[in-house]
Structure 1
Amino acid sequence: MQDQNHPFLRPLWRRIALVGFCAAWSIFEFVTGSAFWGTLAGGMAAIGAYQFIIAYKPGDDTEAGKE
Protein backbone atom coordinates (compact mmCIF):
# COMPACT_ATOMS: atom_id res chain seq x y z
CA MET A 1 0.00 0.00 0.00
CA GLN A 2 2.69 2.41 -1.02
CA ASP A 3 0.81 4.68 -3.41
CA GLN A 4 -2.28 5.88 -1.58
CA ASN A 5 -2.90 8.60 -4.19
CA HIS A 6 -3.11 6.24 -7.16
CA PRO A 7 -5.87 7.31 -9.59
CA PHE A 8 -7.58 3.93 -9.15
CA LEU A 9 -8.34 4.80 -5.52
CA ARG A 10 -9.99 8.19 -6.14
CA PRO A 11 -13.62 6.99 -6.16
CA LEU A 12 -14.90 6.35 -2.63
CA TRP A 13 -16.80 3.23 -3.70
CA ARG A 14 -13.57 1.52 -4.81
CA ARG A 15 -11.86 2.21 -1.50
CA ILE A 16 -14.88 0.91 0.41
CA ALA A 17 -15.06 -2.15 -1.85
CA LEU A 18 -11.39 -2.98 -1.19
CA VAL A 19 -11.84 -2.74 2.57
CA GLY A 20 -15.12 -4.67 2.41
CA PHE A 21 -13.53 -7.44 0.37
CA CYS A 22 -10.72 -7.87 2.90
CA ALA A 23 -13.21 -7.89 5.78
CA ALA A 24 -15.41 -10.46 4.02
CA TRP A 25 -12.39 -12.62 3.26
CA SER A 26 -11.39 -12.47 6.91
CA ILE A 27 -14.83 -13.63 8.01
CA PHE A 28 -14.74 -16.42 5.42
CA GLU A 29 -11.37 -17.64 6.72
CA PHE A 30 -12.52 -17.63 10.34
CA VAL A 31 -15.72 -19.53 9.44
CA THR A 32 -13.74 -22.20 7.61
CA GLY A 33 -11.35 -22.61 10.54
CA SER A 34 -8.24 -20.82 9.28
CA ALA A 35 -7.50 -18.43 12.12
CA PHE A 36 -4.08 -17.39 10.78
CA TRP A 37 -5.39 -16.32 7.38
CA GLY A 38 -8.45 -14.74 8.97
CA THR A 39 -6.22 -12.65 11.21
CA LEU A 40 -4.03 -11.68 8.27
CA ALA A 41 -6.99 -10.62 6.12
CA GLY A 42 -8.55 -8.82 9.10
CA GLY A 43 -5.35 -6.89 9.63
CA MET A 44 -5.31 -5.87 5.99
CA ALA A 45 -8.92 -4.72 6.33
CA ALA A 46 -8.04 -2.66 9.40
CA ILE A 47 -5.00 -1.07 7.75
CA GLY A 48 -6.99 -0.44 4.58
CA ALA A 49 -9.85 1.14 6.54
CA TYR A 50 -7.45 3.56 8.16
CA GLN A 51 -5.44 4.39 5.03
CA PHE A 52 -8.21 4.46 2.44
CA ILE A 53 -11.19 5.75 4.41
CA ILE A 54 -10.11 7.57 7.58
CA ALA A 55 -6.79 9.20 6.63
CA TYR A 56 -7.28 9.40 2.84
CA LYS A 57 -6.51 12.77 1.27
CA PRO A 58 -7.01 12.91 -2.48
CA GLY A 59 -4.06 14.23 -4.47
CA ASP A 60 -4.19 17.54 -6.26
CA ASP A 61 -4.42 16.82 -10.02
CA THR A 62 -3.50 20.36 -11.02
CA GLU A 63 -0.07 20.16 -9.41
CA ALA A 64 0.74 16.67 -10.74
CA GLY A 65 1.09 17.75 -14.37
CA LYS A 66 3.26 20.80 -13.72
CA GLU A 67 7.04 20.70 -13.57
Structure 2
Amino acid sequence: MQLIDPNHPAYRRLWVRIAIVAVCFGWAAVEIVGGDPFWAVISAAAGAYAFYMLFWTFKSQPEVAEPVVRPDAEEEDEPAEISAEKPSKDGPAG
Protein backbone atom coordinates (compact mmCIF):
# COMPACT_ATOMS: atom_id res chain seq x y z
CA MET A 1 0.00 0.00 0.00
CA GLN A 2 1.39 3.36 -1.05
CA LEU A 3 0.41 6.39 1.05
CA ILE A 4 2.21 8.98 -1.09
CA ASP A 5 2.14 8.72 -4.88
CA PRO A 6 5.41 10.37 -6.04
CA ASN A 7 4.08 10.56 -9.62
CA HIS A 8 1.21 12.87 -8.66
CA PRO A 9 1.53 16.31 -10.32
CA ALA A 10 1.24 18.07 -6.95
CA TYR A 11 4.74 16.83 -6.02
CA ARG A 12 6.40 18.05 -9.24
CA ARG A 13 7.78 21.23 -7.64
CA LEU A 14 10.76 20.91 -5.33
CA TRP A 15 9.53 23.46 -2.79
CA VAL A 16 6.35 21.45 -2.20
CA ARG A 17 8.30 18.30 -1.42
CA ILE A 18 10.67 20.19 0.88
CA ALA A 19 7.75 21.84 2.71
CA ILE A 20 6.00 18.52 3.36
CA VAL A 21 9.10 16.92 4.84
CA ALA A 22 10.01 20.05 6.84
CA VAL A 23 6.53 20.31 8.37
CA CYS A 24 6.64 16.67 9.49
CA PHE A 25 10.06 16.99 11.12
CA GLY A 26 9.16 20.41 12.52
CA TRP A 27 6.08 18.99 14.18
CA ALA A 28 8.21 16.19 15.65
CA ALA A 29 10.47 18.87 17.19
CA VAL A 30 7.42 20.66 18.61
CA GLU A 31 6.25 17.42 20.22
CA ILE A 32 9.70 16.74 21.72
CA VAL A 33 9.81 20.25 23.22
CA GLY A 34 6.25 19.78 24.49
CA GLY A 35 7.24 16.55 26.24
CA ASP A 36 5.20 14.06 24.23
CA PRO A 37 7.61 11.51 22.75
CA PHE A 38 4.89 9.24 21.32
CA TRP A 39 3.60 11.88 18.89
CA ALA A 40 7.16 13.00 18.19
CA VAL A 41 8.03 9.50 16.99
CA ILE A 42 4.84 9.33 14.88
CA SER A 43 5.61 12.72 13.26
CA ALA A 44 9.25 11.82 12.68
CA ALA A 45 8.20 8.53 11.08
CA ALA A 46 5.82 10.42 8.78
CA GLY A 47 8.68 12.78 7.87
CA ALA A 48 11.04 9.90 7.19
CA TYR A 49 8.45 8.18 4.99
CA ALA A 50 7.74 11.43 3.14
CA PHE A 51 11.47 11.96 2.59
CA TYR A 52 11.86 8.44 1.26
CA MET A 53 8.92 8.72 -1.14
CA LEU A 54 9.42 12.33 -2.28
CA PHE A 55 13.21 12.42 -2.59
CA TRP A 56 14.69 8.93 -2.59
CA THR A 57 12.26 7.22 -4.99
CA PHE A 58 11.06 10.36 -6.83
CA LYS A 59 11.64 10.44 -10.59
CA SER A 60 10.93 13.82 -12.10
CA GLN A 61 8.47 13.85 -14.97
CA PRO A 62 9.17 16.25 -17.84
CA GLU A 63 6.61 19.00 -18.03
CA VAL A 64 4.35 18.76 -21.05
CA ALA A 65 4.30 21.97 -23.06
CA GLU A 66 0.96 22.84 -24.55
CA PRO A 67 0.91 24.09 -28.14
CA VAL A 68 0.56 27.83 -28.64
CA VAL A 69 -2.36 28.68 -30.89
CA ARG A 70 -2.56 31.95 -32.80
CA PRO A 71 -5.81 33.77 -32.09
CA ASP A 72 -6.08 34.86 -35.74
CA ALA A 73 -5.68 31.35 -37.13
CA GLU A 74 -8.48 30.28 -39.40
CA GLU A 75 -10.47 27.29 -38.35
CA GLU A 76 -8.87 24.18 -39.76
CA ASP A 77 -8.79 20.53 -38.94
CA GLU A 78 -5.80 21.12 -36.68
CA PRO A 79 -4.93 24.33 -34.78
CA ALA A 80 -2.08 26.37 -36.24
CA GLU A 81 0.96 26.35 -34.00
CA ILE A 82 3.58 29.05 -33.77
CA SER A 83 6.92 27.64 -34.79
CA ALA A 84 10.14 28.58 -33.03
CA GLU A 85 12.27 27.62 -36.03
CA LYS A 86 14.97 29.98 -37.24
CA PRO A 87 14.49 31.42 -40.73
CA SER A 88 16.79 30.01 -43.39
CA LYS A 89 19.59 32.01 -45.02
CA ASP A 90 17.42 32.53 -48.10
CA GLY A 91 14.94 34.57 -46.09
CA PRO A 92 11.69 33.83 -44.33
CA ALA A 93 9.67 31.03 -45.78
CA GLY A 94 6.15 31.67 -46.66
Provide TM-score, normalisation by structure 2.
Answer: 0.59
- Root mean square deviation, CA, Å: 1.5
Aligned positions of 1:1-67 closer than 5 A: 1-59=3-61
Seq. identity, %: 34
**SS in structure 2 of the partner of residue 53 of structure 1:** helix
Report which of the two has the higher share of helix. Answer: 1
In structure 2, the gaps of 5 or more residues are: 65-94
- The count of residues paired between Structure 1 and Structure 2 equals 62
**Structure of greater Rg:** 2
CA-CA distance at 1:61 after TM superposition: 6.1
Which of 1 and 2 has higher RCO (CA within 8 Å, sep 6+)?
1
Which segments of structure 1 move beyond 3 Å, counting only runs of 4 or more? 59-62
The amino acid across from 1:3 in the alignment is D
Give distance in 2, aligned partners of 1:2 and 1:33.
29
**TM-score of the superposition, structure 1-length normalised?**
0.81
